[in-house]
Structure 1
Amino acid sequence: MANRYELLRTISKDCYGVLQMMRDVKESRTVAVKMIECMDEAMVNKALREAMILLELKHPNICKYKEIFVGWNKEDAALSVCMVIEYSSVGDLAFIIRDKRRRMEKVREMVIKNFLGQMVDVLVFLHSKNVIHGNLKPTNILLMQDLSFAISDFIVPTFIKDEVKFKIRMKDDEKTWMAPELAEGKVNSKYDIWSTGCIILEMMMCSKISVEIYFQLLSQKEKEFKQVVQAIKIDGKQLEPILEELHTKLKYTSNLCDLVQRMMEQNDEKRISAVEMVELQYVKEALIICNSSLTGRKRSPVGLMNVPYGADIDKLLVYMQSGIDVEEVQIPALKYMVYLMYEAEVLMASARIIPVLITLLNCHPKCLEIQAYVCQILLKFAIKATELSVEDGILFSEAVINIVLSVMESQRKCVDLQVVICKLLMVLSGSEAAGKLIGQANGIQSILMTLRMYIDYSHICIPCCGAIWSLVTNKGNARTAQLEGALETVWQVLENHLQNGDVVKSACSALWALSLEETLSDAQFEDITLLLIQAFDLHIRKENSVKNICLTLSSLIRMSELVAFRILVPDMQHDGLKVIKESYYIHQTDAKVVQTICMVFLDMVQYEDVLPDLISQKVDKLLNEIKIKFASNEDIVTVVNSTLLKLQTIDGKSENEGSKTSV
Structure 2
Amino acid sequence: MEKYQILQECSPGALGVNLVVEEMETDTKYVVKQVECIDEHHANEALEELMPLLKLQHPNISLYHEMFIMWNSEISSLFLCLVMDYTTQGTFQTIMESKRRMSENIDSEWMHTMLSQVLDAVEYLHQLNIVHRNLKPSNIALINDNYCKLQDLSSQALMTHEAKWNVRAEEDPCQKSWMAPEALKFSFTCKSDIWSLGCIFLDMATCSFLNDTEAMHLRKGIRHHPGSLKPILKTMEEKQIPGAEIFCLLLPFMLHIKPSDRLAIKDVIRITFMSTSFRNSCVALNMHRQAVPIFITDVLLEGNMANVLDVMQNFSTRPEVQLRALNKLLTMPEEDLDLPWPTELVEELISIMKQHQRILDILVSTCSLLLRILGQALAQDSEAEIPRGSFIISFLMNALRSHPNSERLIILVYNLLTIISSQGLLSEELEEEGLFQIAQEQLYHFQDDRDICLAILSLLWSLLIDAATVDKEPLHQFSPVVISVLAKHAEDVEVAEAGCAVLWLLSLLGCIKETQFEKVVELFLRSIQLCPDRVLLVNNVCRGLASLAKVSELVAFKVAVLEEGSSGLYLLQDIYELYKDDPEVVENLCMLLAHLASYKEILPELESGGIKDLVRVIRGRFTSSLELISYADIVLQALEAAAHPNPQEQQLEPASGPEAKVSSPPQDPIFQP
Q: TM-score scaled to structure 2, two decimals? A: 0.48
Higher relative contact order (CA 8 A, sep 6+): 1
More helix by share: 1
Give the alignment's TM-score, normalised by structure 1. Answer: 0.49
